[in-house]
Structure 1
């Protein structure tokens, strides 16, 4: 559940070296064993391996597109359903909820705030990618 993830957020940050993509991508068996014995995170082998795999994929996307953001831009605009398909094809353990929340947090999908919300008005001043696609 999201509640479990939020409660363990700092544990994840520490266990995964501050989410440094290059460090996580280089994890070896000793790191996997360390993660699987860390009670501060969710200790699921498939999810641990997915985190390492996904970091390696981001490195590949950096090499092919110059950056992860450039890869996202190359696929923008898309509907949420199409983003989910792309993420499921590209990464591991990325379903609709994770993909949608991630892309809303970066501004590639609208929907995090209602149109009458003050935060929504502030977001509009930042020219998020979803706004550019709707023009």
Structure 2
């Protein structure tokens, strides 16, 4: 069942939590590098857990990870790692915490070389999902197929975030996401 249809079966605050993400964020193109980094780190932290768990903790993730400011996270020290490991408001997984810090450093390098993380992504497009996964595994930490696929769908680089009959699909299409430029949606 698609995310669009799954939300319809949810109730109360659970539905509102998912509907907000679905209607305002999921699949929309993102140009801001810090927000791209945010989405990548949230997707990494979701691995093995429900997306609902991550949505509920998003505000505490933002606070713990310096508002997902790439330069700030890249400068995190062992003291910061220990602070994060002790923070019950986030996912306290050493591999995921280390991935956030190391991936921030990688993004700083990409920014120096390509001007921005977003520009690096744009220069890689279009690729089939399998090629994206290989590229991300080579470039970043803790980025398997599911994480990469969801990250790219969530930022408009791969199709599939919304059903074609979902009203949000049209709102996203009007912004001309990267996936509309090439047919790499399900390869």
Superposed displacement of residue 43, structure 1: 1.4
| Length-normalised TM-score, structure 2 | 0.68
Q: CA deviation at 1:68?
A: 0.4
- Where relative contact order (Cα < 8 A, 6+ residues apart) is larger, the structure is 2
How far has the Cα of 1:65 moved from its partner?
0.5
Q: 1:14 corresponds to which residue?
A: 63
Under a length normalisation based on structure 1, what TM-score does the superposition of the two structures give? 0.92
2:37 is matched with none
Q: Deviations over 1:97-135 (max 9, x none)?
A: 22112111221101111222222122221111111124x
**Separation (CA, whole Å) in 2 of partners of 1:116 and 1:17:** 38
Q: How many pairs are equivalent?
A: 134
Q: Deviations over 1:11-32 (max 9, x none)?
A: 2111101111100000011111
Of 163, 168, 172 in structure 2, the residue corresponding to residue 114 of structure 1 is: 163
Which 4+ runs in 1 deviate beyond 3 A? none
Q: Which runs of 5+ in 2 are unaligned?
A: 1-48
